[in-house]
Amino acid sequence: MKLVVIGFGQCGCRIADEFSRLNRRARGQRGIEIITGAFAVNTDAADLSGLTNIKSDYQHRILIGGRKTSGHGVGKINELGAEIAREDGDKVIDAIRTTRRFFESDAFLLIAGSAGGTGSGAIPIMTQFIKERYMDKPVYNLIVLPFEHEETTEERTIYNSAICLKSANSVADAIILVDNQRYVRKDFSLRNNLAKINALIVEPFYNLLCAGEETKVKHIGAKMLDAGDIIQTLVGWTVMGYGKSQLPLIRLPFERSRDFRKKSTETHKGIQAMDEAISELSLKCNPMDASRALYLLSAPAREMNMDLIKELGDYLRDIASEAVIRNGDYPRERGVLDVIVILSELNDVEKVRNYYNKSASFIATIKKRQEEIESKLKGIKEASKDIPSFL
Ligand SMILES: Nc1nc2c(ncn2[C@@H]2O[C@H](COP(=O)(O)OP(=O)(O)OP(=O)(O)O)[C@@H](O)[C@H]2O)c(=O)[nH]1
Ligand SMILES: [Mg+2]
């Protein structure tokens, strides 16, 4: 599957930059293209300069809202981010038009953090713009939710996230939710290592996008997972998971592949990887709420067998029993077996619901505060009524 990737704001741009790196890896290691165009859109000029992989010309690193922000961002005011996107959105459309291999793209992936200003406001507006112009291609969002410490220290974090998610959900074909906090659960040092988190967010896309682009027979599985399967799976609220098991690099001659012990070890490793994918989903959710699901098993050809694929299917069927499940196998890497799981068309996401609930009370607080300020201002104005003025 080939994507046009567009990042908005600091978070979105850095992750889009990571996708650009992923494409270079696919080209170098596998001779495959998975990204037809990668763009970074921001109101902050310094952030755009800090990227490393996306081409550095003005049609790939796109500065918007220059007049309004003088290149310094919108300071978490996502209403301003949305307004700027409405005014400058054409710059992005013009840039997409220059993508040489645009016609080969299967879908758009727009990326942003929900808690900031630029990305949070721009992503729903640009999703709508792009959908109106390119009706034949799905437009997906990947939205990054804030760390817990951001939610507790800054009220605007939750409010921004709620507006961003509600707006995006009304226009995007699917929203892949990624919770920053999930990535620091096991390794707290990651809180300060966004680059590492970005690499982890993007990693599952490597095999997922490559699998359907292979042309060499030895890399085509018994059931090839292609763009059609992915497009059929991605609908509405979506989460992804990724798990990996190491395998011995070399098999000794006496470890015959028909040995029953070896076969049970393979199955065990496969289940272990899927277990990890499910427990490390990009956002905590209940798999029973998914109406669609997909899994892709990538492993050396000789480690894969139909039993293993079936076992993985049975496992997923048990935990996501309401879902239509698609699957694929991808004969590839030496020494590792990995499993990617997508749960989509989720009919409930607790975290999103909580953002909505908390924001509803926040809106009332803002209104009350605004009224208090206005009444105080009125008081001081009233008191100054008889004082002469130089102006
Ligand atoms: N995973 C990840 N999250 C990030 C990154 N940069 C920022 N964030 C998160 O994104 C949110 C803030 O959004 P930003 O992208 O910095 O904001 P922005 O869109 O640039 O908007 P303004 O700076 O307000 O104009 C916070 O929740 C951060 O934790 C990143 O590189 N990776
Ligand atoms: Mg910024």
Asked whether the beta carbons of 124 and 167 are under 8 A apart, the reply is yes
Distance CA(203)–CA(137), nearest Å, equals 24
Asked whether the beta carbons of 214 and 204 are under 8 A apart, the reply is no
Asked whether the beta carbons of 342 and 293 are under 8 A apart, the reply is yes
pLDDT score recorded for residue 259: 58
Distance CA(336)–CA(357), nearest Å, equals 43
Q: Whose CA is nearest to atom 29 of ligand 1?
A: 146
DSSP 8-state code for residue 52: S
Q: Which of 8, 11, 176 to mutate to test the pocket of ligand 1 (most atoms within 8 A of CB)?
A: 11
Q: Which atom of ligand 1 is nearest to the CA of 178?
A: 1
Amino acid found at 52: T
Q: Which of 123, 144, 159 to mutate to test the pocket of ligand 1 (most atoms within 8 A of CB)?
A: 144
Element (H, E) at 243: strand 236-246
14 pocket-lining for ligand 1 (C-beta < 6 Å):
yes
73 pocket-lining for ligand 1 (C-beta < 6 Å):
yes
Backbone Cα Rg of the chain: 24
Ligand 1: centre distance to CA 35 (Å): 23
Q: Sign of dihedral through CA atoms 90, 199, 194, 18?
A: negative
The candidate with the shortest Cα–Cα distance to 116, out of 18, 188, 12, is 12
The ligand that comes nearest to the alpha carbon of residue 12 is: 1
User: Which DSSP string do the residues of 77-145 spell out, in sequence order?
Assistant: -HHHHHHHHHHHHHHHHHHHHT-TTGGG--EEEEEEESSSSHHHHHHHHHHHHHHHH-TTS-EEEEEEE
Ligand 1: centre distance to CA 12 (Å): 7
The contacts of residue 228 (CB under 8 Å, 6+ apart) are none
pLDDT score recorded for residue 367: 81
DSSP 8-state code for residue 182: G
pLDDT tens-digit map of 335-379: 899 999 999 999 999 999 999 999 988 888 878 887 888 888 898
What pairs with residue 44 in β-bridges? 72
pLDDT score recorded for residue 204: 96
What does the block give as tokens for 95? 């840039």
What pairs with residue 297 in β-bridges? 329, 339
- Phi–psi pair at 379, nearest 5 degrees: -60, -50
Asked whether the beta carbons of 143 and 123 are under 8 A apart, the reply is yes
Asked whether the beta carbons of 9 and 122 are under 8 A apart, the reply is yes
Distance CA(367)–CA(372), nearest Å, equals 9
Q: Whose CA is nearest to atom 30 of ligand 1?
A: 11
Amino acid found at 386: D
Ligand 2: centre distance to CA 199 (Å): 19
pLDDT tens-digit map of 76-107: 899 999 999 999 999 999 999 988 889 999 99
Distance CA(265)–CA(206), nearest Å, equals 26
pLDDT score recorded for residue 366: 76
Burial of 6 (0-12, 13-18, 19+ CB in 10 A): buried
Q: Which atom of ligand 1 is nearest to the CA of 69?
A: 25
65 pocket-lining for ligand 1 (C-beta < 6 Å):
no
Asked whether the beta carbons of 150 and 118 are under 8 A apart, the reply is no
Residues lower than pLDDT 70 in the chain = 185-192, 249-263
The contacts of residue 98 (CB under 8 Å, 6+ apart) are 59
Asked whether the beta carbons of 317 and 274 are under 8 A apart, the reply is no
Q: In what order do the strands lie in the sheet containing 336-344?
A: 61-63, 35-42, 3-8, 107-113, 139-145, 174-179, 236-246, 336-344, 292-299, 324-331
What pairs with residue 343 in β-bridges? 239, 293
Asked whether the beta carbons of 114 and 82 are under 8 A apart, the reply is no
